[in-house]
Protein backbone atom coordinates (compact mmCIF):
# COMPACT_ATOMS: atom_id res chain seq x y z
CA UNK A 1 0.00 0.00 0.00
CA UNK A 2 1.39 3.41 -0.88
CA UNK A 3 0.89 6.13 1.68
CA UNK A 4 0.05 9.76 0.88
CA UNK A 5 2.66 12.49 1.28
CA UNK A 6 2.54 13.76 4.88
CA UNK A 7 3.64 17.27 3.90
CA UNK A 8 0.76 17.58 1.41
CA UNK A 9 -1.66 16.27 4.03
CA UNK A 10 -0.34 18.88 6.49
CA UNK A 11 -0.96 21.67 3.96
CA UNK A 12 -4.49 20.34 3.31
CA UNK A 13 -5.21 20.21 7.05
CA UNK A 14 -4.01 23.80 7.53
CA UNK A 15 -6.24 24.95 4.64
CA UNK A 16 -9.28 23.30 6.29
CA UNK A 17 -8.54 24.91 9.64
CA UNK A 18 -7.60 28.41 8.49
CA UNK A 19 -11.16 29.81 8.10
CA UNK A 20 -12.12 28.77 11.65
CA UNK A 21 -8.98 29.88 13.48
CA UNK A 22 -9.04 33.17 15.40
CA UNK A 23 -6.26 35.00 17.27
CA UNK A 24 -7.54 33.42 20.51
CA UNK A 25 -7.37 29.85 19.16
CA UNK A 26 -4.75 27.60 20.74
CA UNK A 27 -3.44 24.30 19.41
CA UNK A 28 -2.73 21.38 21.74
CA UNK A 29 -0.66 18.56 20.25
CA UNK A 30 -0.78 15.03 21.61
CA UNK A 31 2.63 13.43 22.09
CA UNK A 32 4.40 12.64 19.90
CA UNK A 33 3.13 13.01 16.34
CA UNK A 34 0.42 15.47 17.32
CA UNK A 35 3.00 17.79 18.88
CA UNK A 36 5.02 17.82 15.65
CA UNK A 37 1.85 18.61 13.70
CA UNK A 38 0.74 21.31 16.15
CA UNK A 39 4.12 23.03 15.86
CA UNK A 40 3.98 22.99 12.07
CA UNK A 41 0.31 24.07 11.99
CA UNK A 42 1.08 26.89 14.42
CA UNK A 43 3.53 28.35 11.91
CA UNK A 44 1.33 27.68 8.84
CA UNK A 45 -1.70 29.31 10.47
CA UNK A 46 0.28 32.28 11.81
CA UNK A 47 -0.98 31.82 15.37
CA UNK A 48 0.44 34.01 18.12
CA UNK A 49 -0.81 31.90 21.04
CA UNK A 50 1.92 29.32 21.78
CA UNK A 51 1.04 25.69 21.08
CA UNK A 52 0.55 23.36 24.02
CA UNK A 53 1.24 19.66 24.40
CA UNK A 54 -0.35 16.79 26.29
CA UNK A 55 1.02 13.40 27.22
CA UNK A 56 -2.05 11.37 28.12
CA UNK A 57 -0.15 8.36 29.50
CA UNK A 58 -1.65 8.68 33.01
CA UNK A 59 -5.16 9.26 31.65
CA UNK A 60 -5.42 6.20 29.42
CA UNK A 61 -8.07 3.64 30.33
CA UNK A 62 -5.53 0.86 29.68
CA UNK A 63 -2.86 2.32 31.98
CA UNK A 64 -3.14 -0.64 34.39
CA UNK A 65 -2.43 -3.12 31.56
CA UNK A 66 0.17 -1.11 29.61
CA UNK A 67 1.99 0.57 32.45
CA UNK A 68 3.97 3.75 32.00
CA UNK A 69 5.67 4.25 28.66
CA UNK A 70 9.40 4.91 28.77
CA UNK A 71 8.77 7.91 26.48
CA UNK A 72 6.48 9.77 28.90
CA UNK A 73 6.81 13.55 28.72
CA UNK A 74 5.38 16.38 30.76
CA UNK A 75 2.26 18.09 29.49
CA UNK A 76 2.56 21.81 28.85
CA UNK A 77 -0.27 24.30 28.35
CA UNK A 78 1.38 27.75 28.26
CA UNK A 79 -1.96 29.57 28.19
CA UNK A 80 -5.18 29.73 30.20
CA UNK A 81 -7.55 26.97 29.09
CA UNK A 82 -10.60 28.59 30.68
CA UNK A 83 -12.99 29.94 28.03
CA UNK A 84 -10.57 29.41 25.13
CA UNK A 85 -11.13 27.84 21.70
CA UNK A 86 -8.79 24.82 21.61
CA UNK A 87 -7.94 22.46 18.80
CA UNK A 88 -6.54 19.08 19.84
CA UNK A 89 -4.07 17.88 17.21
CA UNK A 90 -3.12 14.24 16.68
CA UNK A 91 -1.50 12.36 13.84
CA UNK A 92 -3.77 9.29 13.61
CA UNK A 93 -7.30 8.80 14.92
CA UNK A 94 -8.22 5.15 15.44
CA UNK A 95 -10.27 3.89 18.40
CA UNK A 96 -10.90 7.31 19.99
CA UNK A 97 -9.46 6.27 23.35
CA UNK A 98 -6.45 8.60 23.15
CA UNK A 99 -8.77 11.54 22.47
CA UNK A 100 -10.96 10.55 25.42
CA UNK A 101 -7.86 10.56 27.63
CA UNK A 102 -6.80 13.94 26.22
CA UNK A 103 -10.19 15.48 27.00
CA UNK A 104 -10.04 14.13 30.56
CA UNK A 105 -6.62 15.70 31.08
CA UNK A 106 -7.53 18.94 29.33
CA UNK A 107 -10.50 19.54 31.61
CA UNK A 108 -8.22 19.18 34.64
CA UNK A 109 -6.70 22.50 33.47
CA UNK A 110 -10.02 24.33 33.09
CA UNK A 111 -13.17 24.56 31.02
CA UNK A 112 -12.53 25.59 27.42
CA UNK A 113 -15.24 27.40 25.44
CA UNK A 114 -14.85 24.96 22.56
CA UNK A 115 -12.68 21.94 21.77
CA UNK A 116 -12.22 20.67 18.22
CA UNK A 117 -10.13 17.82 16.86
CA UNK A 118 -7.70 17.97 13.94
CA UNK A 119 -6.06 14.79 12.65
CA UNK A 120 -3.82 14.03 9.73
CA UNK A 121 -5.31 10.55 9.24
CA UNK A 122 -8.59 8.94 10.29
CA UNK A 123 -8.16 5.19 10.02
CA UNK A 124 -11.61 4.22 11.31
CA UNK A 125 -12.12 1.45 13.86
CA UNK A 126 -13.73 3.67 16.47
CA UNK A 127 -14.57 2.20 19.87
CA UNK A 128 -15.86 5.52 21.24
CA UNK A 129 -18.08 8.19 19.62
CA UNK A 130 -15.25 10.51 18.58
CA UNK A 131 -15.03 12.28 15.22
CA UNK A 132 -12.52 14.81 13.89
CA UNK A 133 -13.58 18.36 13.03
CA UNK A 134 -10.66 18.61 10.57
CA UNK A 135 -9.15 15.60 8.80
CA UNK A 136 -6.66 15.52 5.92
CA UNK A 137 -7.43 11.95 4.78
CA UNK A 138 -9.02 8.64 5.69
CA UNK A 139 -7.13 5.36 5.27
CA UNK A 140 -8.54 1.86 5.47
CA UNK A 141 -5.80 -0.38 6.84
CA UNK A 142 -5.69 -4.13 7.20
CA UNK A 143 -6.14 -5.49 10.70
CA UNK A 144 -2.81 -5.64 12.51
CA UNK A 145 -1.40 -2.71 10.53
CA UNK A 146 -0.71 0.77 11.90
CA UNK A 147 0.33 4.01 10.29
CA UNK A 148 2.80 6.20 12.15
CA UNK A 149 4.04 9.73 11.61
CA UNK A 150 7.80 10.17 11.64
CA UNK A 151 10.15 13.09 11.25
CA UNK A 152 12.62 12.80 8.41
CA UNK A 153 14.86 15.80 9.04
CA UNK A 154 12.62 18.84 8.58
CA UNK A 155 9.96 16.84 6.73
CA UNK A 156 7.16 14.67 8.03
CA UNK A 157 6.73 11.16 6.64
CA UNK A 158 4.27 8.29 7.11
CA UNK A 159 5.27 4.68 7.78
CA UNK A 160 3.30 1.45 7.90
CA UNK A 161 3.99 -0.85 10.85
CA UNK A 162 2.72 -4.23 11.95
CA UNK A 163 1.02 -4.18 15.40
CA UNK A 164 3.88 -5.98 17.17
CA UNK A 165 6.42 -3.28 16.10
Q: Going from the N-terminus, what domains does the chain have, and what CATH number goes with each?
A: 6-162 (3.40.50.2020)
119 Cβ neighbours under 8 A, 6+ residues apart: 89, 90, 91, 92, 93, 132, 134, 135, 136
Question: Across residues 10-37, what is the average pLDDT?
Answer: 96
- Residue 123: the pLDDT is 95
Residue 36 has pLDDT above 90, yes or no: yes
User: Tens of pLDDT along 87-99?
Assistant: 999 999 999 999 9
- Residue 57: the pLDDT is 87
Q: How many CB atoms lie within 10 A of CB 70?
A: 5
- Residue 31: the pLDDT is 94
SS3 152: strand
User: Tens of pLDDT along 99-128?
Assistant: 999 999 999 999 999 999 999 999 999 999
Residue 72 has pLDDT above 80, yes or no: no
- Residue 11: the pLDDT is 98
Give pTM, 2 decimals: 0.92
Q: Name the DSSP class of 18.
A: G
Asked if 79 and 125 touch (Cβ cutoff 8 Å), the reply is no
Q: For the chain, percent helix, then strand, then coil, each to nearest 5? A: 30, 30, 40
**Rounded distance between C-alpha atoms, residue 134 and residue 9, angstroms:** 11
**Rounded distance between C-alpha atoms, residue 150 and residue 69, angstroms:** 18
- Residue 68: the pLDDT is 58
**Rounded distance between C-alpha atoms, residue 55 and residue 101, angstroms:** 9
Amino acid sequence: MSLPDAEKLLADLAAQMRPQVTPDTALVGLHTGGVWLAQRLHALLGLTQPAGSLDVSFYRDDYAQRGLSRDTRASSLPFDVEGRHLILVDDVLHTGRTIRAALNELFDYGRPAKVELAVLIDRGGRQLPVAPTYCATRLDLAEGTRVKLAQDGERLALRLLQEQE
